Amino acid sequence: MSDTTDTGAGTAAETAGGATSSAPSRRSLLGWGGAGLALGAAAAGGAVAAVRGDGGDAVPAADSGAAVPFYGVHQAGIATAVQDRLHFAAFDVTTKDRGELIRLLKEWTAAAARMTAGQTVGEGAYGGLAEAPPDDTGEALGLKPSRLTLTIGFGPSLFAKGRFGLEGKRPEALLDIEKFPGDNLDPARSDGDLCVQACADDPQVAVHAIRNLARIGMGRTAIRWSQLGFGKTSSTTPDAQTPRNMMGFKDGTRNISGTDTAALDKHVWVGEKDGSPWMTGGSYLVARRIRMHIETWDRTGLQEQEDVFGRDKGEGAPVGKAKERDEPFLKAMKPNAHVRLAHPDSNGGATILRRGYSFTDGTDGLGRLEAGLFFIAYQRDVRKGFLPVQRSLARNKDALNEYIQHVSSAIFAVPPGVRDKDDWWGRALFS
């Protein structure tokens, strides 16, 4: 991350598409605490962040130090080749002022454009006024962009009546997710007005990004909950080696490829006629923290483990087949095998893009690993994606259910991409 110093916060904010009409100088920010610190962030935002094409991102997973272009028709972090690490944060909006919220989103956009390009927030981490906290927290100095992507989403509560005048704009697809049999949801770790998914190949880069956005939001937003993910459990690049989840199985074999524009258009990106024009080019995100009963799993025989998924552990091939990529023959699997119940053929064609991460948050008070899958799915319409699949898994007693428990849940409307330096996260929603 380079420590480029901006010259003149006023000019910077104007360049950011009116992040503020009369941006204060660096000096006048003194005493504001964290709020407003990103105002200078926009200065080089337009200059440094490149524009993506319509489909997936041009940056291959192998190029782990590179920058993923920030600007594009769709937000990065969805079709992007899955990075190794995750820091996912859900925020409560604490301000009641719609104008303040809009200002925050503009400031976040400017800071995100810089951080994804490998640059510091605002005037950097050092070299400024000795009396003021630096604009950037500094822990990503010297690190590469690491394919950092920042993806924002808006939760149902943001659209509540009497808050920000958005009640008429809540998409039907942004529904309140029902409680499924077996769910044991912790409200303190669920939901949220906003979310930011930070993915990068370097954990410090992802954590730095969330930390700095949280800092910019001080006084206007507060982190409600957050989740670190240390290993991807899905792949959007079919030619890459499929990662393994905490149960030791290849995960993400049959997923939508980030370069399959036809499948992305059909199953992931919201279309013009889908009912909420401001969401065109966006997607819907469902996040579920799924705890695994690791110790029970580790005492389970190999045959049972393979029966649970309907795939073998070594190669990842479906039952009766030799290779991972062979087409599954569902009837050869046990009726309650996870793959059989989750497959589109069992759910009226429902197809999702999975982008989850393994997590381990130490141990619980009983010495058991507090570990599992932070499941993330993107889809064009939750009613034709996550909902039918999860209903099938929960109601038809997925064999996996004995070894897992869903402990948190959230849904977000992920708006389309930021087109250029004059655009900002959520512009179409608030206009």
CB of 377 to ligand HEM, least distance (A): 6
Residue (162 or 301) nearer to ligand HEM, CB? 301
The partner residues of 227 in beta bridges, in order of sequence, read 88
Report the nearest approach of ligand HEM to the CB of residue 355 (Å): 12
- Helices 203-216 and 98-116 pack at an angle, to 10 degrees, of 150
DSSP state of 366: T
Q: Mask of contacts with ligand HEM, 197-236, x by CB under 6 A?
A: ----------------------------------------
> Does 148 contact ligand HEM by CB under 6 A?
no
Residue 198: φ, ψ to 5°: -105, 120
Using CA atoms, how far residue 272 sits from 71, 275, 277, 281, 380, in Å, is 20, 7, 6, 8, 11
- Out of 386, 412, 424, 425, name the contact with ligand HEM by CB under 6 A: 386
Query: Given the complex with ligand HEM, which of 311 and 421 has the nearer CB atom?
Result: 311
Provide the CA 379 distance to its chain's centre, in angstroms: 13
Alpha-carbon span 59 to 65, nearest angstrom: 10
List phi, psi (to 5°) of 375: -80, 130
Q: Which of 342, 371, 414, 429 binds ligand HEM (CB under 6 A)?
A: 342
Angle at alpha carbon of residue 121, lines to 87 and 104, rounded to 5°: 75
Residues 6+ apart with CB under 8 A from 70: 49, 50, 76, 112, 113, 116, 117, 150, 418
Instruction: Considering only the stretches 25-33, 85-93, 196-204, 383-391, report the one whose residues sit in contact with ligand HEM under the rule CB under 6 A.
Output: 383-391
**Binding span for ligand HEM by CB under 6 A among 32-40, 174-182, 299-307, 338-346:** 338-346
Site for ligand HEM in 293-332 (CB under 6 A): 309, 311, 328
Q: Which is nearer to ligand HEM, 254 or 380 (CB)?
A: 254
Minimal distance in Å, beta carbon 317 to ligand HEM?
Answer: 10
Are the C-beta atoms of residues 41 and 122 closer than 8 Å to each other? yes
Q: What minimum distance in Å lies between the beta carbon of 406 and ligand HEM?
A: 7
Q: Is 378 in the site for ligand HEM (CB under 6 A)?
A: no
- Please report how close the Cβ of residue 222 comes to ligand HEM at its closest, in angstroms: 28
Among positions 215, 267, 289, 338, the unique one binding ligand HEM when judged by CB under 6 A:
338
DSSP-assigned beta bridge partners for residue 228: 87
Q: Residue 401, interface with ligand HEM (CB under 6 A)?
A: no
**Binding to ligand HEM in span 231-290, by CB under 6 A:** 245, 247, 249-254, 288, 290
70-89: contacts with ligand HEM (CB under 6 A)? none
Q: Which is nearer to ligand HEM, 304 or 420 (by Cβ)?
A: 304
d(CA 402, CA 308) in angstroms, rounded, equals: 10
Distance between CA 415 and CA 431 in Å, rounded?
13
CA angle 391, 386, 173 (to 5 degrees): 110
CB 225 within 8 A of CB 87: no
What's the min distance (Å) between Cβ of 143 and ligand HEM? 31
Binding mask of the shown chain, residues 110 to 129, with x at each position contacting ligand HEM by CB under 6 A: --------------------
Q: Which is nearer to ligand HEM, 35 or 308 (CB)?
A: 308
Buried b (16+ CB within 10 A) or exposed e, 375-402: bbbbbbbbebbbbbbbbbbbeeebbbbb
Q: Which of 390, 401, 408, 409 binds ligand HEM (CB under 6 A)?
A: 390
Binding-site ranges for ligand HEM (CB under 6 A): 245, 247, 249-254, 288, 290, 292, 309, 311, 328, 338-339, 342-344, 352, 372-373, 375, 386, 389-390, 393, 400, 404
